[in-house]
Amino acid sequence: MPVPNGDATNAAERTHAAPVPFMRRAGRALIAATAATALAAGLAPSVANAQETGAISPESVANDAVLGVVTPESLSQLLYFGNFPGSSGSSMMGIANSLGFSPNMFAGEPPPSPQPNPKITETKIVGDPVVEGRYERYLIDSADMKRGITVEVHRAANPGAPFLYLLDGVGSELPSGFTQWGAGEQFANENVNVVIPTGGQGSMWADWNEQDPVLGISKWESFISRDLPAVLEPRISTNRNRAIGGISMGAGAAMTMATRHPDLYKGVFGVSGCYSTDALGQILTRYTVESRGATLTNMWGEPGNDQWVAHDAMINAEKLRGKAIYMSSGTGVAEPGDWDAYNNDVANFVAGMALEQATGQCTHAADRRFKELGIQADIDHLPTGMHNWSYYSRQIPVAWDSIKHSVGL
């Protein structure tokens, strides 16, 4: 069943439960700090931009500010239109970072660490898959990660169909967010085999330098780009055309993998992702990794070194030339009913707002980069939308329609 929209980050995006009163206090503190920054910066630019778009009346924002009352809906629009100084490209995330907010505050108890099994020395499919119609679930031993990885497949009706690899967000649950939010129905009439690895929570779907006390051994890039095609594809199809896409954490990882393995993927999409390891990208990466209690430097060392540069899809964007590319993001501006859909949960509402505002900035930066290089890309900048599965699920069919020609469909 789909996870209710009340979780800001929903199935693949929610943090582990922390005491609710503390999360609400922290969320309110972040709202208060952001609102104070907004007032200090001056409301005139926000009101002018809002009036021009018609998204919110200047009178309502000004009156709320004067009265010291900021509604969730008006705050979401105020933050978007404000573009406040010192925001690192995203008002909410920049302010949170400057105030020292850490996802460790919200992470609660970390998940059990995957324990390496030294007996796993070969990457192979273990046993028979679970089959429910065209949905299949495989257990694959990873020699690199010394554990079994569950991989979901939504099989095409045609045995000669190409492949679409989908990378989930920070939670990477089982069933995946894609499956919970209708991938079986969305791709039922599409001639493509959808492959979804699970269990990569907080990993950026990357190869890590060091074993992490919480996440264990992470060699996800090698597993997805090398092992899965080798052991899984021959069981499913003779077609070797592939595309890759993802949401949130998985969006950035998909774009990065397409730059690092340009011969492997003909098309790539990202929904609500960040595609650079610049200042804002580092903040979002830290929040992703630390939200699961992991240690950031166990991934690629200190931010800014050569490994971080090598995983920056925008620095390496030239390798995407000639591929079908799609990106989209919202703005963090709430749609009618979003506050109620989040069950009036301040902390989760703020998180959904802040994260989507930040990925919106990342997507605009990617748009500029592609135009600078003269690389064709289909990019949607949506006027509203929070960082959650109700938004992602609407964009996945749009993303697929944009890139599916690359694999011959």
pLDDT of residue 43: 36
Q: Are 147 and 216 in contact (CB under 8 A)?
A: yes
User: Which CB contacts under 8 angstroms, 24+ apart, belong to 188-191?
Assistant: 188/134, 190/156, 190/400, 190/404, 190/409, 191/156, 191/157, 191/158, 191/161, 191/162, 191/409
Residue 105 pLDDT > 50, yes or no? yes
Residue 169's domain comprises 124-407
CA angle 77, 82, 84 (to 5 degrees): 140
For residue 134, being part of any structural domain is answered with yes
For residue 67, being part of any structural domain is answered with no
Confidence band, pLDDT 50/70/90 cuts, at residue 73 = low
For residue 135, being part of any structural domain is answered with yes
pTM: 0.84
Confidence band, pLDDT 50/70/90 cuts, at residue 15 = very low
Token pair of 269, please?
A: 């999409």
Report the alpha-carbon distance of residue 339 to residue 346 in Å, rounded: 9
β-bridge mates for residue 27, sequence order: none
- How many domains in the chain? 1
For residue 80, being part of any structural domain is answered with no
For residue 175, being part of any structural domain is answered with yes
Report the alpha-carbon distance of residue 145 to residue 404 in Å, rounded: 32
Q: Are 389 and 11 in contact (CB under 8 A)?
A: yes
Q: What is the pLDDT of residues 353-378, one digit of tens each?
A: 888 989 999 999 999 999 999 999 99
Report the alpha-carbon distance of residue 255 to residue 314 in Å, rounded: 9
Q: Are 196 and 183 in contact (CB under 8 A)?
A: yes
Residue 19 pLDDT > 90, yes or no? no
Residues of the chain with pLDDT > 70, as a percent, come to 74
For residue 77, being part of any structural domain is answered with no
Residue 69 pLDDT > 60, yes or no? no
pLDDT of residue 214: 93
For residue 384, being part of any structural domain is answered with yes
Q: Are 218 and 208 in contact (CB under 8 A)?
A: yes
Q: Mean pLDDT across the chain, nearest whole number? A: 82
pLDDT of residue 158: 92
For residue 109, being part of any structural domain is answered with no
pLDDT of residue 122: 97
141-173 as b/e: b if 16+ CB within 10 A:
bbebbbbbbbbbbbbbeeeebbbbbbbbbbbbb
Residue 312 pLDDT > 60, yes or no? yes
135-142 vs 124-132, strand pairing mode:
antiparallel
Q: The domain that contains 203 carries what CATH number?
A: 3.40.50.1820
Q: Are 17 and 292 in contact (CB under 8 A)?
A: no
Which has the closest alpha carbon to 70: 20, 100, 25, 33?
33
C-alpha dist (Å) from residue 45 to 14, 49, 70, 80, 83: 33, 6, 17, 11, 8
